[in-house]
Chain A
Amino acid sequence: MSKPLVLALERAERSSSVTKEETLTQYLVKNQAGFYRLTYSVLKNQDDALDAVQTAVCHALERQDSLRNAGAIQTWFYRILMNVCNDVLRQRMRVVPLPTDWEPSQEDPEPTDDTLIQRVDALPLEVAAIIKLRFYEELTLNEISQITGQNLSTVKSRLYSGLKKLRIATEGAEIS
């Protein structure tokens, strides 16, 4: 390849990646509260949730080349975020549990009166995550399947089994 052609290609790539980087940055800043809510609902700890959001944002920019289609930005980033959360949970399992008389710190406000939220959290992690993404974040089952890397039918059956455990009447229209 001739030198001017190589330079032109490089410039084109650089400019396109700058706009991609900008799109990504804007998306991340705009939706940060949502990221935090979801992360917090999984990790139940303010410090861990803040760390996880920061880590996920950092990963997203570092690996921005893996975002091929700007339209898929939400599922792409949620997937990163969920992976970071799973890493934190996995690390926690390795940590020796605290004595039972330990009291949660003040900065961890538990949901007060809503028992359903607590029941959702009591579900197995992968089921709870699907319910949160579907009803709290209001994502489609398709998007959830992409984020969690699970089959669409797996997502469906997990969602139904979760709702059954929560004793919520399932009306098809509301779910998918």
Chain B
Amino acid sequence: MNELKHAKETYDNTPIPSELSERVQAGIQKGKALYQNRRNRTFHRWMVAAACFCLVLAGLNLSPTLASAAANAPVLGGLFQVLIFVDYTKSEDDINYNVSAPRVEAESNLAEKVNAAIQEKVDQHLAKAQQDWDDYREAYFATGGTEDEWGDRKMDVIIDYEIKSQTEDWVSFTVSYAENWVSSYEECSYYNLNFTENRDLTLRDFLGENWVTVCNTAIQKQIDESIDANGLTYFFAPDEGGFTTVNESTSFYVREDGMIVVCFPKYSIAAGAAGNLEFVIRPQEE
């Protein structure tokens, strides 16, 4: 054991560098700072979590939009849900895809029909985009364009959807298909589905028996109002292919506030500069 004691003495006499106390102080300062940092971070995290919770509670009570968005959550939903079923972004062959297409979940053949229709439309659109792009590229090089000039030309293909409004029984949503490159192209599909009665909703459901007259009157009024001081308007005259009447195939959606919005695609009844045309129509009081 003497030998061990001797070893301990040697150990105890290990020379201590003068630098040590400086280094220990440095460690203490840094450690204190890191500790404060950590505390603040934890505190902030709790504050943010608490704030978010308050916002959600307030939001559900104050905003019908948010409340109806929450209906998308599986537990809260009614007879049906609208879910994203294709959702991806990718780049391939100089095309940037940004696709989020919806899928309706409900126990009815209406849902199946709608999903199949959307799927078909999505496929068509993707094929068309590819075709447009290939044609453009071929034409570009056929007319003397070079690889250098082609550079990093890209095309954006965007598919997106928007739930305009929904209740326990029905939903109104749109799916938009867009291509952006040297020219751009956008198309919109409108869906108004009643799951209780398992059918598409029509303008008649919202505007009553006289729906054609109601729509035509309101739309004509808005077209007339669009004529500016110089007597000019984007709208075509009826005999030049302008607006004449709504019919069974006229697109529409239901706004959150219950207003009916009748839609006409770009170029259909007005100059392209006017874009997609929307006419807000107030449902008749019953």
Name A's B-contacting residues (CB within 8 A): 21, 25, 28-29, 32-33, 36-37, 40-41, 46, 50-51, 53-65, 109, 111, 114, 116-117, 120, 132, 135-136, 168-169, 171, 174
Contacts and interface: CB of A to CB of B under 8 A. Distances in A.
Contact of B34 (A50, A58, A174): A58
A117 B10 contact: yes
Contacts of B24: 28-29, 32, 53-54, 57
A46 B17 contact: yes
A171 B5 CA distance: 14
Nearest to A25: B28
B136 interface: no
B35 A61 contact: yes
B30 interface: yes
Contacts of A28: 24, 27-28
Contacts of A58: 27-28, 30-31, 34
8 contacts: A28-B24, A36-B17, A61-B28, A61-B32, A64-B31, A116-B6, A135-B8, A168-B3
Contacts of A56: 27
Contacts of B12: 37, 136
A11 to B, nearest CB: 14
Nearest to B26: A54
Interface string B14-32: 1111011101111110111
> What 8 pairs between A and B have smallest CB-CB spacing?
A61-B31, A57-B27, A58-B31, A54-B27, A62-B34, A58-B27, A54-B23, A116-B7
B134 to A, nearest CB: 53
Contacts of A168: 1, 3-4
Contact of A136 (B8, B34, B35): B8
B50 to A, nearest CB: 11
A50 B20 contact: yes
A32 B34 contact: no
A117 B9 CA distance: 10
Contacts of B34: 58, 61-62
B45 interface: no
B88 interface: no
A105 to B, nearest CB: 13
A116 B7 CA distance: 6
Contacts of A53: 20, 23-24, 27
B11 A132 contact: yes
A37 B16 contact: yes
Contact of A41 (B14, B32, B38): B14
B23 A50 contact: yes
A57 B1 contact: no
Given A21-B32, A171-B1, A36 B16 contact: yes
